[in-house]
Amino acid sequence: AVLVAIKITALTAFIILTIPVLKSSNFNPLIPTGTAGVFGAAASIFFAYVGFDAVSTAAEETKNPQRNVPIGLIASLGVCTIFYLLVATGAIGAIGAQPVMSGGIPLSPGSPELAGRCASIVASGALEPLVCSKEALVHVLTSIGWPAIGRLVGLAAVLALPSVVLMMMFGQTRVFFTMARDGLLPAKLASVHPKFRTPHVVTVVTGIGAALASAVLPVGKLADY
């Protein structure tokens, strides 16, 4: 709850500072890469909604789950969608987020061509395009004259990242627990702690697996997984 509060505070501050300075011209053209860009974005933003299903995995540990689980799912979806829309609006409206083009064709994210083009734009003294930045929200706030707040938003992002990891691991342990109880995994994984009434064995096993993965895999691969 503390980590999520930090995250919401940072995003709210970003919205408050960027919405008043947005320019409608930054939204023209509204769909600069056409339908291909829309479908590409839809395929990516789908993953922003992965994790809400973790709410349902906690049904057995929820007070009055028939009432509270639907409220948790729908309310969290609603709140997050509103934040997504407002943050995107603030970022694009404040400094623009049009694609970097080459010969009228938008360069692919993560490609060497885009990296080279971004480097040349920055070297020329022009403002770094939003699509080139590796810390987009910090870049936006710095560009509109709030560098200190930008650094705090970046810090909040780092501090709040464990909330995502913890929630996903919580959901995964409950999935493994149910599978073990149904005989699809070793029965030992369905053990419940005599005092705390939580699936402690599967939590330890999942934690060790996550720790090993984070120790030996590149960050980019972990993000993809």
Dump pLDDT digits (tens) for 131-145. 888 889 999 999 999
Choose the weakest-confidence range: 1-10, 49-58, 129-138.
49-58
pLDDT of residue 91: 94
The answer to whether residue 182 scores a pLDDT higher than 80 is yes
Residue 9 CB-density burial (10 A; 0-12 exposed, 13-18 middle, 19+ buried): middle
The token duo for 69 is 């689980």
pLDDT of residue 23: 93
* Average pLDDT for the chain: 89
Taking the model in full, what pTM does it have? 0.81
In this prediction, residues 120-133 reach a mean pLDDT of: 88
